[in-house]
Amino acid sequence: MLENLKKAAKIAKDVIRYSKSLLKPEVSLLEIAESIEQRIRDLGGEPAFPVNISINEIAAHYTPQPGNDIILKEGDVVKIDIGVHVDGYIVDTAYTEEINDTKYKDLIEASRQALLNVKKILKKDIELWEIGKIIEDTIKRYNLNPIYNLSGHKIDRYLLHAGINIPNYNNGSKIKLKEGIYAIEPFATNGIGYVRDGHGSGIYSIVNYKPIRDPKLRKFLDFLYDRYKNLPFAYRWLISDKNLNININTAIEILKRNNIIYEYPILIEKTGGIVSQHETTFFINSGVHDVIDMD
């Protein structure tokens, strides 16, 4: 198992470095997303989810739609959240950058420092509240808030959110971290510290893979499951696939309506606060390995 996780980590590290070279004013989000995803594939991995490029008060789950002409602007606070998998072994990692400005230096530093502080105390059998507390305390020291309704998560093979949530505040949970793979992702904001759901993101995942009668639709669903299992995929990826012999908009609508696939909403800070995020993936056995630091 560790071999494929290491491979995914190596790719993720390269892709993070590469992605930073793309973050300049006037560059389109679509170009950034497609370049990052292509690089992941070129290096022998697959995107574990569509690249999230979330700007300013958007905390997460934003990926550009086809034809989207949004560009980066000076002063934008940009979260790049990248997922790489190799044979289902997933690395989930994110960082924040401000485009040609330093106004939100502390905000960015707050989530980064929170993650570094977690790394210092992380160990097998640590209780969840302890992780949440150090994140919350670190961010509050900057007079900022963590985002209370976002969390890190356990990762299993082909499963990005495997049941256990890792809080960004002291939620009192005595659940202990067992051996496994965990993404920890502190979010900091100068807003109230909660996100609300915005409109649909064009990011989907299969939540209930069940047989359907319509043969064309069943073929489409089987194709999706074969390719992505329960991992998130982008509308953008589907409409660029010339081999799909189906009206994708209609098919997606029907699958959504039947609760077979789920569309993630864009997550926006409730009071319009600016948001920063840092994330890495830890492999915990008798020791703790930050896979992004691991070769």
Give min distance, CB of 19 to Co ion, in A: 16
Q: Which is nearer to Co ion, 7 or 154 (CB)?
A: 154
User: What length does the chain have?
Assistant: 295
153 catalytic per annotation: yes
Please report, as residue ranges, which positions from 209 to 248 form the binding site for Co ion (by CB under 5 A): none
Exactly one of 5, 80, 183, 203 binds Co ion (CB under 5 A); which one? 183
On whether the CB atoms of residues 283 and 291 are closer than 8 A, the answer is yes
- Of 7-15, 69-77, 84-92, 122-130, which segment contacts Co ion by CB under 5 A? 84-92
114 belongs to the binding site for Co ion (CB under 5 A): no
Residues 6+ apart with CB under 8 A from 241: none
85 catalytic per annotation: no
91 belongs to the binding site for Co ion (CB under 5 A): no
260 belongs to the binding site for Co ion (CB under 5 A): no
Choice among 37, 92, 97, 130 that is catalytic:
92
**Parallel, antiparallel or unpaired: strands 180-184 and 195-206:** unpaired
Give the chain's end-to-end CA distance (angstroms, integer): 15
279 catalytic per annotation: yes
- Of 5-13, 60-68, 181-189, 219-227, which segment contacts Co ion by CB under 5 A? 181-189
What is the C-alpha to C-alpha distance for residues 87 and 14, in angstroms, rounded to an integer? 18
Choice among 34, 87, 161, 263 that is catalytic:
161
Secondary structure (H, E, C), 221-261: HHHHHHHHCCCCEEHHHHHCCCCCCCCHHHHHHHHHHCCCE
CB atoms within 10 A of CB 227: 13
> Using CB under 5 A as the criterion, which residues of the chain lie in contact with Co ion when the complex forms?
92, 183
Residues labelled as active-site residues? 81, 92, 153, 161, 185, 279
